[in-house]
């Protein structure tokens, strides 16, 4: 390991056991019952290799801790050390050709851990890059891009971390850390007023209550109930501006959602909304192109 910080202090903290558990499960899935039979068949047991992970496009890097874990754990598994040296920290902007990390160790182990390391990094760097592009599109406004719960099962913590690496912020992490009253909750509860009343009675004083509305009439009812946050769902810029005028001076945080993409986010941000929640940055982020280039020593 180098002195390069692979878990930047200003990003979401990922406990090492969570990283290692996810990476180990991925290694076990890939290696199956018999291990990497292609590498075992073609690579001598005493061969060593130097390798670099390099960017093949412009973007923002995320997932270095996962790559480090993959090479470290496969080394521990086989009783041999694999050296992983990050050249940059997560959250760094790169261009094609920039070296992200250097690896050295038994060639068989480097090859067997390669795909798992890259799978995590390419996906997470894709999320970070998509987030960063959205953040740049709304520069100069007060709006903040925030991720949602539209994440891959089992990978939410990593995708939330990648959003932070890209300069975004995080919405709630799960169903247990904030109350978000949506249309189906309102339908069953009977009204926005009743749903918010029940939420206030149920929640502790530290739990925020957010309610989703999609009409001006619903917004007026919600404002009267004084939730902490109001989500303005699927409102175009003109309707958003009307809604924000009603929210002015209430102290209620505003959030826009629905149909958020690189093509629409600038117009949404210009309305003066506080937050813009975008499922796009996790569920539709393109994979970032990283490659591992190897040489035998």
Catalytic positions are 115, 150, 182, 212, 233
Report d(CA 215, CA 198) in Å as an integer: 22
- Bridge partners, residue 296, by sequence: 49
Report d(CA 22, CA 15) in Å as an integer: 11
Sequence-separated (6 or more) residues with CB below 8 Å from residue 222? 192, 196, 211, 213, 230
Sequence-separated (6 or more) residues with CB below 8 Å from residue 174? 149, 156
Contact indicator for 87, 99 with CB cutoff of 8 Å: yes
Q: Are strands 99-106 and 48-55 parallel, antiparallel or unpaired?
A: antiparallel
> What are the CA-CA distances from residue 111 to residues 10, 20, 31, 119 (Å)?
32, 19, 11, 13
Contact indicator for 23, 120 with CB cutoff of 8 Å: yes
Length of the chain: 297
* Token pair 């740049």 in the structure block, residue: 136
- Give the three-class secondary structure for 44: coil
């Amino acid at each position: 390991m180098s002195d390069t910080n692979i878990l930047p202090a200003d990003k979401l903290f990922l406990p090492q056991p969570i990283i290692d558990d996810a990476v180990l499960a991925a290694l076990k899935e890939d290696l199956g019952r018999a291990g990497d039979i292609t590498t075992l068949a073609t690579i001598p047991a005493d061969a060593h290799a130097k390798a670099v992970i390099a960017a093949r496009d412009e973007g923002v890097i995320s997932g270095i801790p996962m790559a480090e874990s993959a090479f470290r754990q496969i080394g521990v598994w086989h009783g041999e050390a694999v050296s992983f040296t990050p050249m940059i920290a997560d959250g760094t902007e790169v261009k094609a050709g920039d070296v992200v990390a250097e690896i050295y160790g038994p060639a068989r182990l480097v090859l067997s851990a390669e795909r798992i390391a890259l799978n995590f990094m390419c996906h997470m760097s894709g999320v970070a890059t998509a987030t960063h592009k959205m953040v740049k599109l709304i520069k100069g406004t007060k709006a903040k891009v925030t991720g949602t719960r539209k994440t891959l099962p089992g990978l939410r913590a990593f995708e939330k971390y990648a959003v932070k690496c890209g300069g975004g912020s995080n919405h709630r992490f799960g169903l247990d850390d904030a109350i978000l009253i949506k249309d189906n909750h309102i339908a069953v509860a009977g009204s926005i007023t009743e749903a918010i009343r029940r939420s206030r009675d149920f929640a502790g004083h530290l739990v925020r209550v957010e309610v989703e509305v999609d009409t001006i009439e619903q917004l007026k009812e919600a404002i009267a109930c004084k939730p902490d946050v109001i989500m303005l769902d699927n409102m175009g810029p003109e309707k958003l501006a009307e809604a924000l005028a009603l929210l002015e001076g209430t102290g209620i945080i505003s959030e826009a959602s629905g149909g958020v993409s690189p093509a629409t986010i600038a117009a949404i941000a210009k309305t003066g909304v506080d937050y813009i929640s975008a499922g796009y940055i996790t569920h539709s982020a393109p994979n970032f192109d990283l490659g591992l280039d190897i040489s035998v020593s």
